[in-house]
Amino acid sequence: MNIEERNQPVAYNASKIIESMGLKKKAVAEKAGYSEQMLSDMLNGRKVIRIVDAVRIRDALGVDSNTLFDTEGRR
């Protein structure tokens, strides 16, 4: 299993939430305590999203864990 596969569905859902809410990745990254590059690396499968990262991203987006880990909306 590669990093991109491990990061799913969090990376996919976070990207869709950012897009649907009209947020800037830089603003989300800063709110989560990351650089824009670090968040980009996680969302694009270049860095593993750990549980602590998922929690920080979730909090920065203001969504619940079920929304971030949802696999039903992913096709």
Q: What is the pLDDT of residue 72?
A: 78
Q: Are 27 and 72 in contact (CB under 8 A)?
A: no
Q: Are 14 and 43 in contact (CB under 8 A)?
A: yes
Average pLDDT of adjacent 10-residue blocks, the chain of 75 residues: 89 96 97 98 96 97 94 63
Q: What is the pTM assigned to this prediction?
A: 0.90
Q: Are 57 and 11 in contact (CB under 8 A)?
A: no
Q: What is the pLDDT of residue 73?
A: 60
Q: What is the pLDDT of residue 1?
A: 81
Domains observed in the chain: 3-69 (1.10.260.40)
Distance CA 63, CA 32 (A): 13
